[in-house]
Structure 1
Amino acid sequence: MDKNQFFREATLRICGNLEIEQALHSVLQFLREEMPVDRMSLQLYEKRLKAVRTIAMASPDGAKEVDFLTPLSREAQHQIEERIRLQQAQPHLYLVNDHTPRIYQEMFRFHGIAASSFIVLPLNVGERYVGSLTLISENEVFSQEQVDWIALLKEPFVIALSNTLRYHEVVRLKNLLKDDNRYLFQEIRHLTGDEIIGANFGLKEVMNQVQRVAALDSPVLLLGETGAGKDVIANAIHYSSTRKDGPFVKVNCGAIPDSLIDSELFGHEKGAFTGALTQKRGRFERADKGTIFLDEIGELPLQAQSRLLRVLQHKEIERVGGSKTIHLDIRFIAATNRDLQEMVRNNQFREDLFFRLSVFPIRIPPLRERVADIPALAQYFISKKSRELKLPGTPHLAADAVDRLTAYHWPGNVRELENVVERALILNPEGPLRFDDLLQTSVHTPAAHAADEEWRTLDAMTADYIRRVLSKTNGRINGKGGAAEILGIHPNTLRHRMRKLGIVFGRK
């Protein structure tokens, strides 16, 4: 066999396997046909640890990836550092019991290796020392010609060792990232609260439903007024399910502009449109192996609803500008404060999508229907907001404060209670907290039911006001004296809002 054929055959074995120990075993079997080599190993010098780290070993019986540290004496440390400094990149033949360097004496003694001779091939990239390859003959002596042939394999081994070190670094960083993500998820859950206030009282039935559906992959539709805590229940479903270690991706459907919905939800390929400078994964793709929470699902435009229906049916998507079908494994949770059935009747929401989403609907009761939870919620928010505001202590409630809180109607639900507590802490950080500014309207009196009718959603009030303006302009939107001019907004913005609110276009 000539040197060219030797180099080609050996290189194919060195670079033909991603696992460095398997590559080492393969090339050892090939070399044994040409020379008396019984063992091979790859080493790194760890200057910080004052030791040699063996990362792979091979013998005729097999090979293994290892992580052995051989501590070195001061003489051996000085010897190896001197070799690295002098950049001795050529292989060296050593005869045991003749002129064996101190470093190898210590290594062989530490690992219990018996040898007659051995070859050391330093592996350098330019001026940077990467490691070294050691070939050991237990009973015979290598010839100088065999040493020259081993010198041909320096570059392939440098490549293989460099790739292995980079792979190990990637694995190390990946494990660190997993650990950091695990820690951050735990911190987020701690901040948002692992315990649901009212789980044993006002939300008892809700939590019973959560326990029934959490272990399944069925879609869940959360219904309830704004601020009732739909996002908290969505968290509870995800973290009680088998997907709890997967991603939990929240999408506020009402906060994404129509022009960006496809890109945000489905992602896009590089160059798919102006400004698409890189490939981007969408929210659906990011939620793979986890849960996606579609908040304010009633705000989703009809065109986007049809594309969402396909994802629900087939669990697959295509990025904007792409042709590759991406299969997904995700669980859907949707939430809304709107009457989706009424929207279906008004052709504002797709009926087939509604039935797909409402496999397991859960109604979150408003705070006025679970008055028993108010004291515990108030105390929870007092403790939470005291920490956020960096107060020296936690103020206590005045004697009659609970009566005021339970008598109030809470049109803004739990979110309003949180804001009321924060305002009270700002005004009176030392306590006691009285909540004197709350309306004294009991939820158990007829006045409360009258107040129910007075409190209307912002969408309903906005729709009524736009209709009054359109009535005044005889349905005209554009131009001088049009509805857009009176409202002080762009005509296209007004039309967009009218579509979302279900207001019919056209002049009377």
Structure 2
Amino acid sequence: MQDSLNNLQLNVFSTTSVDEGFSQIGKFLKKHFPFDMLNIPIYDSEKGVLHYKCIYSEGHVMMVDEPVKLSSKARHEVAQLLENTTPYYNDSGKSQVLKEVADYIGIPGVFSTIGFLLGHKPGRYLLLGIVCLGKNRYTQAHVRAAADIAPVFSGIIKYLFNLIDAVNYRESLRTENQELKKRLGYLKDARIIGSSSGLRRVLTQVTKIAPLQSPVLLIGETGVGKEVIANAIHQRSSRSNTPLISLNCGAIPESLLDSELFGYEKGAFTGANKLKRGYFEQANGGTIFLDEVGELSLMAQVKLLRIIQTMTLQRVGGERSVSIDVRILAATNRNLESMINSGEFRQDLWFRLNVFPITIPPLRKRRQDIHYLTEHFILNKCNEMNISPIPALTPDNLSKLQIYDWPGNVRELQNVIERALIISPKGQIVIPNLSETSDKTCQDTVATDNFYTDRFLTMNEMMIQHIVESLKRSKGKIEGSGGAAELLDMNPSTLRGRMRKLGIQINMNVKSNR
């Protein structure tokens, strides 16, 4: 066995693949023990919780993060077992602990198991269990062998867990980088349509305020292009080579506000496995754009006011203040002065934000821009949708666009053009009856979606179907060439996490290894 153990260490420590590492462990255990499954929990003796981290079976590894609260009887049993360095059972039905966790782990019927204590800190124990279906599968020889390999397995499992952390960290950095790129305001070559006509006054104000550091409040209806103007201010400022971080204040749940705006320290709460910088810290040195600022709750307004006043923040779970240098741009489609009178918005915050207000007119008040905007959207969408030749806009269709009042403003115009390009024959563009578009959009969408079943699937249900299909095609393989993660163009760790959240579990109805 010693040669096999040496080879196991060599193979595991030389791989950077979590799946391959556990595959090597599985091969070793099958060779020397009756083996169907491996599980790795952490036991919290103070809370009486077995926190399962990993389950391996049939060549598949599933990373999990779910606690199993034990009864007082089971907790007493675990305390006794921890006094024995290599506890084991040949009949799971006689163990209260195993009865309580069997359904969670996914083991059908009676089974035998040997436990390893891999390491511990005060009140926390890292455990490993090997499982084989049926009674009386393990002998004293197996128990002695388990005790012999426990020190080596401790190092191997800790290495794989560190590898998992590294993979997750790289994935989180990649995701965060993608999100930042989406929010960065590097639009130096962007042209503001209407700058020589309907938006001339707005652009004059932008030119005056952009070089300064003063806060700006952009006021206008939904869809008028407040974020475009915010980008214009940022790109004309001395901060143009730094990030412009945009966030929709109305889209952040109250419970997540602190962690999203200010970030959190590693270990601040369950699941906080690494330090996360909030929106304000990400914008440090640059500009932050607070869209729909009027949607913030009064409690959130207090927190925002404090950070604007002091230019310091404290991450959730942190003990020190972090200084920041951020320019504030805000936007709203609501009447903040009216909200102040009704007690919905703080006057002191309004004073801070309203240093230089810019009102952006709705599209119905700058109809001269509709022609230029339409041509701009047609060109962009044709390039995006690979439509060639670019269809012409007839005078009749242009007239339809110019007499419509556009309650959704520029955003609605963009959507109408995109829809027209999709449904129009090649070579021409047909604008729908705009007076009916708003009322019938939902009905039309439902009518064209009848290829679904009578019950419309939820997004999670569709994701489950897609992931399960990818697992079928990959024959259950998650990582590596031809694996489900490759088919879905996802990082394996992200896929495992998504599977856990959606309740997609590896089939544990395995046959006993005889």
The alignment's TM-score, normalised by the length of structure 2, stands at: 0.49
Q: Which structure is richer in relative contact order (CA contacts within 8 A, separation 6 or more)?
A: 2
Name which one, 1 or 2, has greater alpha-carbon Rg: 1
The alignment's TM-score, normalised by the length of structure 1, stands at: 0.49
